[in-house]
Structure 1
Amino acid sequence: MSAPRRPVLAGNWKMNHGPSETVRFFADFLAMHEPADDRTVVFFPPAISFAAAKEATQGRPDVRLGVQNVYWEASGAFTGELSVGMARDAGAELVLIGHSERRHVFGETSAETAKKVRAVLAGGLTPVLCVGETLDERQADRAEAVVAEQLEPVLAILSADEVAELVVAYEPVWAIGTGVTATPQDAAAMHAAVRARLAQAFGQEAADAVPVLYGGSVKPDNAAELMSQPGVDGVLVGGASLDAQGFAGICRAAG
């Protein structure tokens, strides 16, 4: 039997918290959140605030940082983009890939997410692959099929050894920023489906090593119940991660 997966508590700030707000946030959060070696806490600040976050978390190796997006090329004429090498040089350890807003607002395809996963792994960082269905897709009873379709191009480029470096975040699009949360049972069912697809591709032992997070209107008052479900290894938090006290409460909910 594989070792238990450590809970992952991740905050995606999206286009919020400039550098000065970032400094204030961490002054408050770090005072409330005691270091703990039984869980992983990660923040994804905006690129312009990354340096401020890095400086503010010096001396707290229990808090890890990631970037919200990268491009798959190493360098070049790609205005507005970040390379994996730039992210690594700045101190990032993880990269969000395929967040629903990248897919549905900016038109990112699953083929492009696969290119990004490959670049991130080649650069020695951890890809956090986001998958999830829209409300129409769920109502059409296509939720699991859609998630499988989003996983497929990524799984096709990975080896069994590489999949151990992957984190998957299931975020139903209809629950992001809406105040509507998937029921704990819905979350558990989709997480089981994700892990079953990983096991089909790479075997159960490899699948059991991959943390699968839930994202979508996670709050301090529902985090513990969500994380108590089998196969839910943590949370990817949007709006509630912008409040230091609230996110510290979510981190405590991991047990």
Structure 2
Amino acid sequence: MTIRAEQIKLATTRSPLWTVAGVVVLSLGLAAIQGSVGSLSIPVEPERAATGVATFGVPVLMILAALSVTGEYRTGMIRATFLAVPNRTRVLAAKAVVAAVFAGFWTGVMTVASALTVRAVGSERQGAQLALSQPGVWRTVAAITLYAMLGSVLAVGLGALIRHSAGVIAVLLLLPFVVEPLLGALPQIGQRVGPLLPFTNANAFTEVPSLRTVSMWWGPVGSLAYFAAVVAVVFAVALVDVNRRDP
């Protein structure tokens, strides 16, 4: 029942519609650019074709996930939510599940669509590795989808902790695009701290070209495990905080 209630909340607002539209434009737009301006003789790898999805689409979906929490605190609706469902752990878990499924679905769709867009716009050589029969395409789809789902759970947790839309949006944008690249680029410090940064590990797992400048201590599976552990810790802290603080 709690999950159904969160689904209804998501379906009755305009935010998801505009979010999906933004993801479509960013993902397919960058894929079309790669197919039209890249070298006609060099194949485009699946992870490169999906750069727009992972780099821009996923953060947009994460922001939507965070706003599903902060929006209720801003309007005071969270009081009615906790009155209807006193189990706050169940409420936050339901928000995380709905956000993760929504983000995962659209990320998977847009990753496949990005590969097809490069094949349609680019040359036959460019799209040689992007046929849906290629296992590399589905590895990329699975990796970015999993990243989006974990990222949405992280965003819900951060939203519950910060409780202010501007604050959580700043964290979700500054951390992967400013803070982590700067830390990774610092001499000496970058190689020590860089492999421990969450979004750096997420990017290493998806293997999508990014701003990452450090050498990782482990492979893609290790990076996934580390990012998942960070998500689990943040969400667990959010559960404790939600159960201890007044709405």
Larger RCO (CA within 8 A; separation ≥ 6): 2
Higher helix share: 2
Higher strand share: 1
| Length-normalised TM-score, structure 2 | 0.28
- Greater C-alpha Rg: 2
